[in-house]
């Protein structure tokens, strides 16, 4: 019987089961099939996602992320910060700045240190993708900025951005009195998004500060989303609502996002280890 060790980590409450699959070499189909059980908060370990360390082709490590529904996410901003801390604190990466391979390409991570203490992680998230055919969004090739979608008897204005994974960003004057979770579930599975989508509902506080609620593709409501925070700032700048750098306030805490048009997006935030454990295969 194989015993698999794991580490529970989180970024602003967006939590993950981290497994070094370099030690086990288990088939990915096994983890895809068990992701729901492992992530279940009543009958499993409990998490928003399952993160595997695999061998990369362009860097020593590849980050693979499975959602609780067994689908695979191309990229996860909170998970990559957690994984960067995991690799550095265990001596798997001797440098505090290194590259990690993801389903959305190579990402540069920098551990923000005070001595040996990790204060946070900064990630070069790459340039946002705005072309509808790549995000993807159905319809003719275009930049999807301030378009209208009818939902639940309402007309909502959205902007679509990919940060390696698709996002639908909707700015609203109020987040308290809207059925954002129902809307998020509906939008995730709308035919407008061929590969489904993450959904962010955002309220501008002022030019460099925004409040966000997140519906994650394959996971549902989460306390934070790193790629979602990046997408919100990009959408806010493109639509003239925000200036960067900006603070993105999520239910689990705040991320700091910087972006200028034509440049990569920079994300900075915490990554915390919660506990270690094991389970039988």
Active site residues: 76, 225
Three-class DSSP category at 210: strand
Least Cα distance to 82 among 63, 101, 67 occurs for: 63
Give the span between the Cα atoms of 163 and 129, in whole angstroms.
6
Cis ω before 240 (30° cut-off from 0): no
Cis ω before 196 (30° cut-off from 0): no
Q: Are 139 and 110 in contact (CB under 8 A)?
A: no
Give the span between the Cα atoms of 32 and 28, in whole angstroms.
6
* 220-222/72-73 β-pairing: unpaired
Gyration radius of the chain's alpha carbons: 18
Question: How many C-beta atoms surround the C-beta of residue 156 within 10 A?
Answer: 18
Least Cα distance to 226 among 120, 138, 97 occurs for: 120
């Amino acid at each position: 019987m194989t015993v698999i060790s794991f580490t529970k980590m989180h970024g602003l409450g967006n939590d993950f089961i981290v497994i070094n699959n370099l030690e086990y070499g288990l088939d990915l189909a096994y983890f895809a099939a068990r992701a729901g059980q492992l992530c279940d908060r009543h009958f499993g370990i409990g998490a928003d996602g399952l993160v595997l360390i695999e061998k990369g082709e362009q860097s020593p490590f590849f980050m693979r992320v499975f959602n609780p529904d067994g689908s695979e996410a191309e990229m996860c901003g909170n998970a990559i910060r957690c994984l960067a801390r995991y690799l550095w604190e265990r001596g798997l990466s001797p440098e505090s700045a290194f590259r990690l391979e993801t389903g959305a390409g190579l990402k540069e991570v920098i551990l923000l240190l005070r001595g040996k203490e990790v204060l946070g992680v900064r990630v070069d998230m790459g340039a946002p993708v705005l072309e509808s055919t790549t995000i993807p969004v159905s319809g003719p090739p275009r930049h999807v900025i301030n378009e209208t979608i009818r939902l639940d008897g309402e007309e909502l204005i959205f902007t679509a951005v990919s940060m390696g994974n698709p996002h639908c960003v909707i700015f609203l004057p109020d987040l308290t009195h809207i059925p954002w979770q129902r809307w998020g579930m509906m939008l995730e599975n709308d035919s407008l998004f061929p590969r489904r989508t993450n959904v962010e509902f955002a309220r501008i506080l002022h030019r460099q500060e925004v409040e966000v609620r997140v519906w994650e593709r394959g996971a549902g409501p989460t306390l934070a989303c790193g790629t979602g925070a990046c997408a919100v700032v990009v959408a806010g700048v493109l639509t003239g609502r925000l200036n960067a750098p900006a603070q993105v306030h999520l239910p689990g805490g705040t991320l700091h996002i910087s972006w200028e048009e034509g440049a990569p997006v920079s994300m900075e935030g915490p990554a915390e280890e919660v506990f270690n454990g094991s389970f039988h295969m």
